[in-house]
């Protein structure tokens, strides 16, 4: 009986230790009300106020305008475990598929109508959830899951994002996969497509195009690529690009 009790106590202590390690893996809990930087003057009301979002210009283009409100720009957030961002979506713009490896995102629509998508990886086969959001709607993107937003309307959309981490991180899938010169053989074998298709995707850097609201291809010259981008065979990351294939011609694919 004594040995069983000792085993139970030992098991409990192990579980408690694991729980403590798990808690430590998140943003550390602040033991003070707030923690101003050492070289910062004694705080007043201005220390808790951020005013840089008052006059945000809308930059027209194919991608959302993102203004981060993090600890680098707003020191009061230090140690508080949160970050924020203002997103402005010009007509037809997209916030490309991406993840936040260290934080959950809560998106609040301030103005307009916004299409959002989230990839659930709970099941063996990824599942896409999409939703149309209207003014004052809220959508949650759990930490680490691939998600995106697209403004299909003719009007500017504004949204505000809050994160459960001081530094949630950002992994842009198009730029990460096709903008860092990964060995083409790795990509062709991973996606089971020809090297020509990988070369085309690598040639189109999402943040360098002038007039593309997603990914669209000339049906006559790139039928194979168009079919692949709309094919359910494109599991995982290639499938995310299919989500965006509903827009005007991409300059790089014009004759």
Q: Is 105 annotated as a binding residue?
A: yes
Rounded mean pLDDT, 162-181: 86
pLDDT band at 7, cuts 50/70/90?
Answer: low
Residues 159 and 92 placed together within one structural domain of the fold: yes
Which residue range is the domain that position 193 belongs to?
174-253
Q: Which of 20-34, 35-49, 65-79, 88-102 is predicted least confidently?
A: 20-34
And the tokens for 28?
Answer: 């550390």
Residues 215 and 184 placed together within one structural domain of the fold: yes
What is the model's pLDDT at position 190? 86
And the tokens for 222?
Answer: 């790139």
Q: Which of 169, 192, 210 is the last residue of a domain?
A: 169
Residues 182 and 83 placed together within one structural domain of the fold: no
What is the model's pLDDT at position 202? 77
Q: Is 24 annotated as a binding residue?
A: no
Rounded mean pLDDT, 185-200: 84
Q: Based on the number of CB atoms within 10 Å of its own CB, is 75 exposed (0-12), middle (13-18) or buried (19 or more)?
A: middle
Residues 51 and 98 placed together within one structural domain of the fold: yes
Residues 163 and 55 placed together within one structural domain of the fold: yes
And the tokens for 48?
Answer: 């808790």
Helices (H) and strands (E) in the chain, counts: 6, 10
72 is a domain residue: yes
Q: Is 147 annotated as a binding residue?
A: yes
> Under the phi-then-psi rule, with left for phi > 0, alpha for psi from -120 to 50, and beta for the rest, what region is 176?
alpha
Q: In a 3-state reduction of DSSP, which class is residue 225?
A: helix
The total number of structural domains that make up the chain: 2
Q: What is the pLDDT of residues 129-166, one digit of tens each?
A: 999 999 999 999 999 999 999 999 999 999 999 999 98
Q: What is the pLDDT of residues 197-231, one digit of tens each?
A: 888 777 765 444 332 233 333 444 345 444 544 44
Q: In a 3-state reduction of DSSP, which class is residue 48?
A: helix
Q: Is 65 annotated as a binding residue?
A: no
Mean pLDDT of the chain: 75
Question: Residue 101: is its pLDDT beyond 50?
Answer: yes
CATH number of the domain bearing residue 93 = 2.60.120.10
Question: Residue 10: is its pLDDT beyond 60?
Answer: no
Q: Are 27 and 70 in contact (CB under 8 A)?
A: no
Rounded mean pLDDT, 168-196: 84
pTM of the model: 0.66
Q: Is 95 annotated as a binding residue?
A: yes
Q: Which of 117, 151, 169 is the last residue of a domain?
A: 169
163 is a domain residue: yes
Rounded mean pLDDT, 79-88: 93
């Amino acid at each position: 009986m004594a040995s069983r009790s000792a085993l139970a106590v030992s098991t409990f202590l192990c579980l408690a230790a694991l729980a403590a390690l798990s808690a430590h893996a998140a943003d550390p809990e602040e033991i003070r009300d707030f923690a101003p930087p050492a070289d910062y003057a004694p705080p007043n009301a201005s220390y808790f106020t951020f005013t840089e979002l008052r006059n945000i210009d809308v930059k027209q283009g194919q991608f959302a305008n993102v203004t981060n409100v993090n600890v680098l720009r707003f020191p009061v957030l230090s140690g508080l475990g949160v970050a924020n961002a203002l997103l402005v979506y010009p007509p037809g713009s997209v916030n490309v598929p991406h993840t936040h490896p260290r934080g959950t995102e809560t998106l609040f629509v301030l103005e307009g109508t916004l299409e959002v998508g989230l990839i659930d990886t709970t099941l063996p086969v990824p599942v896409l959830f999409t939703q149309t959001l209207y003014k004052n709607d809220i959508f949650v993107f759990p930490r680490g899951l691939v998600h995106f937003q697209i403004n299909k309307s003719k009007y500017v959309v504004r949204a505000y994002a809050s994160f459960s981490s001081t530094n949630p991180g950002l992994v842009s899938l198009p730029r990460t996969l096709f903008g860092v010169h990964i060995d083409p053989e790795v990509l062709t074998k991973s996606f089971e497509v020809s090297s020509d298709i990988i070369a085309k995707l690598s040639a189109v850097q999402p943040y360098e195009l002038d007039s593309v609201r997603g990914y669209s291809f000339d049906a006559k010259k790139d039928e194979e690529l168009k079919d692949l981008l709309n094919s359910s065979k494109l599991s995982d990351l290639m499938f995310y690009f299919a989500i965006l294939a509903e827009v005007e011609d991409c300059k790089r694919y014009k004759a």
